[in-house]
């Protein structure tokens, strides 16, 4: 039992890591070289030897849960911190995961990525690689370097430090310092209720603006609650539909599991063609004298197909992993289906490409359903007697 549960967790973790590395990574621009060549960046190269007490070196992942946390030592691993106030003044060789009321990076180094959810985040430190943040107030102070990408979802964002690559910002207010040569060496993609006046030279690359869908009076807790409710609804619908399909059509899930990789592309192709054929057929039926009722029935069927499409796609991947890891039993299959649904939902939330992925997943689900409905039953082997 323990081995099976470990496999399930490894599947989910592997897919999440694969998605994040493929979808969130971008090509490294020449902007990083510009930062390295500046005097300030030279001063902020890795710390001098013996600056820290090596007797406090942590050579494993560090887990902290206190009201006040001060990370001042060297950690050769990841750090997971939960507290009211978290301060980082040491070096972290891996990733930093923080849930806090206030996070301050003051003179510290985070050599990999920062994942933070807090009311207030102040980056006053020397060096942070990638930043992924959800907060009320976010400040990248003067002298701080976000060496690669910044992705922040906040109420108020203030940028006075430097960002080596691209910035993706969704906020109610956004401001830049006036006395810095360049804040962002790559592109700026930002979304606010109203377009922001950005001084010349603040962004070296392109600036792309989109009107924010976030209400001006919405708090971060409201936004998190919205996503949490949406996720729970998705998992609940997937659970109900998976149980109903297996109960009403027990052979459906088995046929879905037998879809090969090549046939999965056929399912996607059928899903792409289905809306085109449906629209054309609906128009012809609506124009005929006897086809209006059939057209209405067709619209109803199409709505049902698209409604269950996400769940069908989750069932496909759930059965695929169950078959791959030889996991048997209804309970384990449902768990894998829900895990697949969670991963697919997370993919659909990725900025820019999330909407496109959502369409592809829905079309794949529709195509998979149609292929399994109209596919011919497999012929039984015929034994020829000599």
Query: How far is residue 287's CA from residue 340's CA, in Å, rounded to a whole number?
Result: 42
pLDDT(163) > 90: yes
Q: What values do phi and psi take at 286, rounded to 5?
A: -65, -30
In this structure, the answer to whether residues 204 and 155 fall within a common structural domain is: yes
pLDDT(258) > 70: no
Closest CA to 148 of 124, 161, 130, 133: 130
Q: Does residue 185 belong to any structural domain of this protein?
A: yes
Q: 184, 211, 238: which is the final residue of a domain?
A: 211
Q: pLDDT, tens digit, for every residue of 259-280?
A: 666 677 777 888 888 888 877 7
Q: How is residue 325 written in tokens?
A: 């890891």
Q: How far apart are the first and last CA of the chain?
A: 48
What residues make up the domain containing 78? 26-211
Query: How far is residue 44's CA from residue 247's CA, in Å, rounded to a whole number?
Result: 62
Q: Specify whether the CB–CB gap between 162 and 147 falls below 8 A.
A: no
Place of tokens 């310092």: 177
How many separate domains does the chain show? Answer: 2
Q: Does residue 234 belong to any structural domain of this protein?
A: yes
Q: Does residue 379 belong to any structural domain of this protein?
A: no
Q: Does residue 285 belong to any structural domain of this protein?
A: yes
In this structure, the answer to whether residues 196 and 91 fall within a common structural domain is: yes
Q: pLDDT, tens digit, for every residue of 337-357?
A: 888 888 888 888 877 687 888
Kindly indicate the confidence band of residue 5, based on its pLDDT and cuts at 50, 70 and 90.
very low
In this structure, the answer to whether residues 260 and 183 fall within a common structural domain is: no
In this structure, the answer to whether residues 273 and 307 fall within a common structural domain is: yes
In this structure, the answer to whether residues 289 and 207 fall within a common structural domain is: no
pLDDT(23) > 80: no
* Average pLDDT score over residue span 27-41: 47
Q: Does residue 384 belong to any structural domain of this protein?
A: no
In order, the DSSP letters of 62-95 are EEEE-SEEEE-SEESS-EEEEEEEEEE-SEESS-
Kindly indicate the confidence band of residue 45, based on its pLDDT and cuts at 50, 70 and 90.
very low
Q: pLDDT, tens digit, for every residue of 94-120?
A: 999 888 889 999 888 899 889 888 889
Instruction: Give the C-alpha distances (Å, rounded to integers) separating 190 from 135, 157, 172, 208, 270.
Output: 16, 11, 10, 6, 37
Query: Of residues 376 and 133, which shows the higher confidence score?
Result: 133
Instruction: Give the C-alpha distances (Å, rounded to integers) separating 66 from 58, 79, 186.
Output: 18, 13, 37
Q: What is the pLDDT of residue 88?
A: 92
Q: Does residue 187 belong to any structural domain of this protein?
A: yes
In this structure, the answer to whether residues 122 and 244 fall within a common structural domain is: no
Q: pLDDT, tens digit, for every residue of 195-223?
A: 888 888 889 899 999 876 555 555 666 66
Query: Of residues 50 and 88, which shows the higher confidence score?
Result: 88
Q: How is residue 229 written in tokens?
A: 């409710």
In this structure, the answer to whether residues 99 and 43 fall within a common structural domain is: yes
In this structure, the answer to whether residues 203 and 259 fall within a common structural domain is: no
In this structure, the answer to whether residues 146 and 97 fall within a common structural domain is: yes
Q: Specify whether the CB–CB gap between 53 and 72 falls below 8 A.
A: no
Q: Does residue 150 belong to any structural domain of this protein?
A: yes
Q: How is residue 259 written in tokens?
A: 């879809």
Q: What is the pLDDT of residue 386?
A: 39
Query: How far is residue 29's CA from residue 284's CA, in Å, rounded to a whole number?
Result: 52
Q: pLDDT, tens digit, for every residue of 282-324?
A: 777 666 655 666 666 777 777 878 888 888 888 888 877 777 7
Closest CA to 183 of 169, 193, 171, 170: 169
Residue 343: count of CB within 10 angstroms of its CB: 19
In this structure, the answer to whether residues 125 and 100 fall within a common structural domain is: yes
Mean pLDDT, the chain, as a whole number? 75
Q: What values do phi and psi take at 175, rounded to 5?
A: -140, 155
Q: 164, 192, 211: which is the final residue of a domain?
A: 211
Query: How far is residue 259's CA from residue 268's CA, in Å, rounded to a whole number?
Result: 12
Query: How far is residue 93's CA from residue 116's CA, in Å, rounded to a whole number?
Result: 17
Residues 6+ apart with CB under 8 A from 55: none
Q: How is residue 78 written in tokens?
A: 């990841």
Q: What values do phi and psi take at 258, rounded to 5?
A: -85, 0
Query: Of residues 244 and 156, which shows the higher confidence score?
Result: 156
* Average pLDDT score over residue span 328-341: 81
Q: How is residue 141 written in tokens?
A: 């102070």
Residue 133, classed as helix, strand or coil, is strand
The answer to whether the Cα torsion of 347, 352, 357, 363 is positive or negative is: positive
In this structure, the answer to whether residues 111 and 251 fall within a common structural domain is: no
Instruction: Give the single-character DSSP code of 237.
Output: H
In this structure, the answer to whether residues 143 and 244 fall within a common structural domain is: no
Query: Of residues 350 and 84, which shows the higher confidence score?
Result: 84
**pTM of the predicted model, to two decimals?**
0.51
* Average pLDDT score over residue span 216-239: 72
Q: 211, 246, 270: which is the final residue of a domain?
A: 211
CA Rg, the chain, in Å? 26
Query: How far is residue 337's CA from residue 324's CA, in Å, rounded to a whole number?
Result: 14
Residues 6+ apart with CB under 8 A from 152: 131, 132, 133, 134, 135, 138, 167, 168, 169, 170, 171
Q: Does residue 6 belong to any structural domain of this protein?
A: no
Q: Which helix (H) or strand (E) holds 164?
A: none
């Amino acid at each position: 039992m323990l081995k099976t549960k470990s496999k399930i967790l490894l599947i989910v973790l592997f897919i999440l890591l694969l998605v994040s590395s493929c979808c969130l990574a971008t090509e490294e621009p020449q902007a990083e070289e510009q930062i390295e060549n500046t005097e300030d960046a030279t001063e902020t190269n890795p710390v001098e030897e013996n600056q820290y007490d090596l007797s406090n070196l942590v050579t494993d992942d560090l887990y902290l849960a206190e009201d006040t946390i001060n990370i001042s030592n060297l950690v050769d691993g990841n750090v997971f911190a939960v507290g009211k106030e978290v301060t980082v003044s040491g070096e972290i060789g891996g990733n930093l995961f923080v849930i806090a009321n206030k996070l301050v990076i003051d003179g510290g180094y985070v050599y990999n990525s920062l994942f933070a959810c807090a009311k207030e985040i102040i980056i006053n430190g020397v060096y942070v690689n990638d930043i992924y943040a959800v907060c009320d107030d976010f400040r990248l102070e003067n002298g701080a370097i976000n060496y690669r990408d910044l992705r922040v979802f906040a109420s108020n964002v203030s940028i006075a430090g430097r960002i080596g690559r691209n910035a993706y910002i969704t906020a109610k207010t956004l401001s830049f310092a006036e006395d810095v040569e360049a804040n962002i060496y790559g592109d700026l993609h930002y979304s606010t209720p109203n377009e922001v006046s950005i001084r010349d030279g603040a962004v070296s690359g392109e600036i792309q603006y989109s009107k924010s869908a976030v209400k001006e009076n919405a708090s971060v807790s409201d936004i998190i609650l919205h996503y949490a409710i949406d996720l729970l609804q998705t998992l609940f619908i997937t659970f109900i539909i998976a149980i109903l399909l297996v109960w009403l059509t027990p052979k459906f899930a088995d046929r879905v599991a037998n879809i090969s990789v090549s046939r999965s592309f056929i399912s996607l192709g059928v899903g792409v063609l289905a809306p085109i054929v449906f629209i054309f057929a609906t128009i012809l039926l609506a124009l005929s004298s006897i086809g209006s009722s059939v057209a209405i029935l067709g619209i109803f069927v199409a709505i049902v197909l698209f409604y269950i499409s996400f769940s069908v796609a989750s069932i496909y991947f759930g059965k695929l992993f169950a078959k791959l890891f030889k996991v048997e039993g209804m309970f384990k299959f449902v768990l894998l289906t829900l895990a697949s649904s969670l991963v697919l939902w997370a993919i659909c939330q990725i900025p820019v490409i999330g909407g496109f992925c959502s369409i592809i997943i829905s079309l794949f689900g529709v195509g998979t359903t149609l292929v399994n409905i109209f596919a011919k039953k497999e012929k039984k082997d015929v034994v020829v007697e000599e």
